């Protein structure tokens, strides 16, 4: 006889069961689960906006702004009375917001809807979250307890790490996040690269690095969205994403606190690396909320190669 439904469901590992088995502390796993649930609400808001604006492309700019703010409101409101968060900082806020009673254990940073400008083209976008124990105005290695990102695409997926590897979950039809891949590990060397910024604006060292990747036969994979491009490197288990220093923007355009450090935390847990071309992203001190940094993130071979060209 084949497996029955009961036998099949025994083999399914959902998010809460996985975090419990991984030994994630109680408060942290409850917070991660709450944020994962928020991802369902944000996804519903994206789909609602797409249906509402179908055929009205001329006003999509307004809807994009509404989506960004709406995602931020959903996150902030859901965390307000979670019992685990004392401060909230996001790309949509000018300052850190005090929430809860002030005695809670964690600080949450968020890019609530990364890549929202891609919504009207039906490309994947995402949410990026960092969970900190101490002040965010320090180095990520010192303060970060966990990080996660949610990708809203053909499937809704979530990758999280609480310092015990990087793990991928898929939202199933029953509304549960179920384990897809546990302990994702990057290969030492990949075969894809995602370079941001206009080629004409790259500094000479970066241009030579990219030309070297092209000479070695790396395949170009760039959507214009940070979350889907990082997700591709991680799920394909190798490669590189970069948004470099530009001639007129020496710090690039991606924000250290809201985007780069959470992704660096996850990538390092998968055996990869993340640098600004010289320094480990997780060792850079955050001095202001909108601080930007160049980024080279992915397999160790490609990141090391970038450092050699930039040194």
User: In the listed set 162, 181, 200, which residue is the last one of a domain according to the structure?
Assistant: 181
Domain boundary among 156, 181, 206: 181
- The pLDDT tens digits for 279-309 are 999 999 999 999 999 999 999 999 999 999 9
Query: Encoding tokens for residue 157?
Result: 């997926």
- Tell me the residue range of the domain where 80 lies: 10-181
Confidence band for 87, pLDDT divided at 50, 70 and 90: very high
**pLDDT at 8 (0 to 100):** 42
pLDDT band at residue 10, thresholds of 50, 70 and 90? Answer: low
Residues 276 and 160 placed together within one structural domain of the fold:
no
One domain for residues 232 and 127: no
Does 37 fall in a domain?
A: yes
From 3-17, 118-132, 189-203, 264-278, the region with the lowest mean pLDDT: 3-17
307 or 67, greater pLDDT: 307
Of 39-48, 164-173, 175-184, the range with the lowest mean pLDDT is 39-48
For residue 161, pLDDT over 70 is answered with yes
59 has pLDDT over 70? no
| For residues 164-179, average pLDDT | 96
35 with 99, same domain: the answer is yes
Query: What percent of the chain is modeled with pLDDT above 90?
Result: 81
- pLDDT band at residue 122 under the 50/70/90 scheme: confident
2 in a domain, yes or no?
no
Residue 212's pLDDT is what? 98
Same domain? For 215 and 76 the reply is: no
Count: domains in the chain: 2
Q: Are residues 101 and 156 in the same domain?
A: yes
Mean pLDDT of the chain: 91
**Same-domain check for residues 114 and 57:** yes
pLDDT at 56: 47
Residue 56 shares a structural domain with residue 104: yes
Its pTM stands at 0.93
Strand order in the sheet with 192-195: 219-220, 192-195, 240-243, 295-298, 273-275
């Amino acid at each position: 006889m084949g497996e029955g439904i009961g036998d099949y469901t025994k083999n399914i590992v959902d998010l809460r069961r996985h975090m419990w088995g991984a030994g994630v502390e109680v408060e942290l796993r409850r917070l991660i689960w709450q944020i994962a649930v928020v991802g369902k609400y944000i996804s519903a808001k994206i789909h609602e906006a797409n249906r509402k604006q179908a055929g009205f492309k001329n006003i999509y700019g307004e809807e994009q702004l509404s989506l960004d703010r709406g995602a931020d409101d959903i996150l902030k409101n859901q965390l307000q009375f979670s019992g685990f968060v004392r401060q909230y900082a996001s790309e949509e806020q000018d300052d850190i917001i005090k929430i809860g009673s002030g005695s809670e254990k964690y600080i949450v940073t968020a890019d609530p809807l990364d890549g929202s400008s891609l919504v009207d083209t039906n490309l994947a976008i995402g949410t990026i979250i960092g969970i900190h124990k101490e002040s965010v105005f320090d180095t990520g290695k010192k303060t970060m307890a966990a990080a996660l990102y949610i990708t809203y695409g053909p499937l809704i997926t979530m990758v999280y790490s609480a310092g015990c590897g990087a793990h991928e979950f898929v939202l199933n039809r029953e509304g549960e996040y179920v384990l897809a891949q546990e302990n994702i590990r990057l290969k030492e060397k990949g075969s894809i690269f995602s370079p941001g910024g206009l080629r004409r604006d790259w500094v000479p060292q970066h241009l030579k690095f990219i030309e070297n990747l092209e000479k070695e036969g790396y395949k170009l994979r760039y959507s214009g969205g940070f979350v889907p491009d990082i997700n591709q490197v991680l799920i394909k288990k190798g490669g590189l994403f970069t948004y470099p220093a530009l001639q007129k923007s020496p710090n690039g355009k991606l924000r250290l606190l809201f985007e780069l450090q959470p992704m660096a935390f996850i990538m390092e847990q998968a055996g990869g690396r993340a640098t600004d071309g010289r320094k480990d992203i997780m060792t850079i001190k955050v001095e202001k909320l909108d601080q930007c940094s160049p980024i080279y993130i992915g397999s160790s071979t490609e990141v090391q190669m970038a450092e050699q060209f930039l040194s």
